[in-house]
Amino acid sequence: MRMSYAQAAAAALALEMQARADIVVLGEDVGRGGIFGQYAGLQQRFGAERVIDTPISEAAILGAGVGMALAGLTPVVEMRVVDFALCGMDELVNQAAKNRFMFGGQGRVPMVMRMPIGIWDASAAQHSQSLEAWFAHLPGVVVVAPATPQDNASLLRAALACGDPVVYLEHKTLWATTGEVDDGEIATLGRARVRRRGTQLTLVSWSRQLIACEEACDALGAAGIAVELIDLATLWPWDRETVLESCARTGALLVVHEAVQVAGFGAEIAASAAEATGCRVRRLGAPRIPVGYAPVLEAQSRIGAADIAAAARALLG
């Protein structure tokens, strides 16, 4: 069935809520479907006791989610956008992520925290951040970044079955994108998707940046450059086996992300590949500047297909 990114997530969540009475949703505006429609129809179907509208307090929402999880529920915590989640970081960093370790496994926090990332058109610096590297750096959490409607369905179902806290990073401008969705598929966390096969260059990306990478692959392919495109899908644990095997074959790796390049997660992948395979590596991310509101300033933070193709050509010489 063809669905949008938002519809796929709502349908997957409905399937899991129907099958499991322990799953609850809490956050601002979830009762009316969420600001992107990713909870459309769920409160009408499952009631206000399972799809819970909350006050505007991210710390309270995340804190309540941690408590619910420790009490035996599986909460889906809605943060609206990752930028707002910063108000509740103590609950994530010092409570959810640490509980299983600090109490010897007596408590677990099977919570899915939905925090849309990325540049949100004309929304400026406080609503356009890609902070996935923060969470990948945090021991105790799983980090997921779906790029397609199918992945937003199958990875969300996998996140709900995980049993540990999952930082679930949907992109703010992917909600209306559409694709075929098999609602019976449940993904495996930590497994990348090889979107294209190639022999000359390994190109690794995730989330919305995959679209620009696919466009770059078309341009490079027309010039006779065969690129293997890997969608990481899960940032932690990331699929080292798939990425390193590809790098060993191609001898060259380009990692592309929308996040600021400085200390971005691409550095982890590049360093791991260089250490394990000796391949040539290059990273491509945004400059270390706040995302501007004016279109001409916002454009300075965007990494487009032409930028990716140029970086690939430079890497290959």
Catalytic residues: 127
User: What is d(CA 69, CA 23) in angstroms, rounded to the nearest whole number?
Assistant: 10
User: What is d(CA 154, CA 170) in angstroms, rounded to the nearest whole number?
Assistant: 13
User: What is d(CA 65, CA 113) in angstroms, rounded to the nearest whole number?
Assistant: 9
Contact present, 217 and 196 (Cβ < 8 Å): yes
Percent of the chain as helix, strand, coil, to the nearest 5: 40, 20, 40
User: What is d(CA 303, CA 261) in angstroms, rounded to the nearest whole number?
Assistant: 11
53: tokens are: 């509208």
Contact present, 165 and 113 (Cβ < 8 Å): yes
Contact present, 226 and 269 (Cβ < 8 Å): no
80: left (phi over 0), alpha (psi -120 to 50) or beta: left
The SS3 of residue 282 is strand
Contact present, 28 and 54 (Cβ < 8 Å): yes
Contact present, 3 and 181 (Cβ < 8 Å): yes
Alpha carbons within 13 A on the beta-carbon side of 196: 23
Phi and psi of 122, rounded to 5°?
A: 55, 40
Using the structure block, give the residue that is written with the tokens 């990478």. Answer: 213
Alpha carbons within 13 A on the beta-carbon side of 114: 28
74: tokens are: 């599986």
